[in-house]
Structure 1
Amino acid sequence: MHKTVTLRLKEDIYKIFSETAKAENRSLSNFIETAALQNIREQQFVDDVELAEIMSNDNLLNRLKEGSNEAKQLKGRFVD
């Protein structure tokens, strides 16, 4: 089921969104939804270059494995 969301935008931001949506032949709603989802995906996942860097860092991988094992054994404490 679709949900309706009200969004308050400054005039200049609305104009940018509206012009960009029109240039991409999209509705304003579709443009905002697509842009928001793209931003979320970029924040949640690493790109190929970043993943390669992580995978090549043995010290980091060892620390991540140790932390994962400690979490499974309920060692340590969570800090806010």
Structure 2
Amino acid sequence: MKTVTMRVDDSIYDMIKLAADGQKRNLSNFIEFATMQYLTSSQFVENSEMNEIMNDKELVKNLMNGFDDLKNGDYNIV
């Protein structure tokens, strides 16, 4: 297990604390819970969905072309 130190604005802290209290969790447990909820719902896809994406040859080609454009400096991510 790792220890993480972070700085947050007082208003953000108050929101996190209120949410943790509302779920009857301590602060650290709520931050871990909220992070896992975000990561698993926003950042990952099921294997079947990823297989469907990877089998769409035109989509993969377009994504790779976009990635090449980005590497070549044709676009900026803001």
Superposition map of 1:18-57 within 5 A = 18-42=17-41, 43-45=43-45
Q: What is the RMSD of the two structures over their aligned residues, measured on CA atoms?
A: 3.0
Alignment counterpart, residue 63 of structure 1, candidates 53, 57, 64: 57
AA of the residue aligned to 1:7: M
CA 1:63–1:24 in structure 2 vs 1: closer, same or farther (change >3 Å)?
A: same
CA distance in 1, matches of 2:39, 2:10: 24
Identity in percent: 33
* Matched positions, count: 59
Tell me the distance in 1 between the aligned counterparts of 2:32 and 2:56.
39
- Unaligned ranges ≥5, structure 2: 62-66, 72-78
Q: Which entry has the higher C-alpha Rg, 1 or 2?
A: 1
Give TM-score scaled by structure 2 length.
Answer: 0.59
| Structure 1 residues not aligned, in runs of 5+ | 68-77
Residue equivalent to 2:14: 15
Deviation at 1:38, TM superposition (A): 1.1
For normalisation by structure 1, the TM-score amounts to: 0.57
